[in-house]
Amino acid sequence: MPTVFITGANRGIGLEFVRQYAADGWTVVATARDPDSAAELNAIESDVTVRALDLDGDFFQIDWNGLVGTKPIDVFINNAGVMGPTKLDTIEHAAAMVHALAVNTVAPVVLAKAMLPLVAATKGKMVALSSKMGSIADNGSGGFIAYRATKAGLNAAWRSLAIDVRDQGVVAATLHPGWVQTDMGGANAPVTVEDSVAGMRRVIEGLTPERAGGFYNYDGAAIPW
pLDDT at 66 over 90: no
Provide the pairing of β-strand 215-217 with 171-176. Answer: parallel
**Looking at residue 183, what is its pLDDT?**
67
Confidence tier at 180 by pLDDT (50, 70, 90): confident
pLDDT digits (tens, 9 = 90+) for 36-65: 999 999 999 889 999 999 887 667 778 888
Structural domains present in the chain: 3-217 (3.40.50.720)
pLDDT digits (tens, 9 = 90+) for 67-88: 888 999 999 999 999 999 999 9
**Looking at residue 22, what is its pLDDT?**
97
Confidence tier at 6 by pLDDT (50, 70, 90): very high
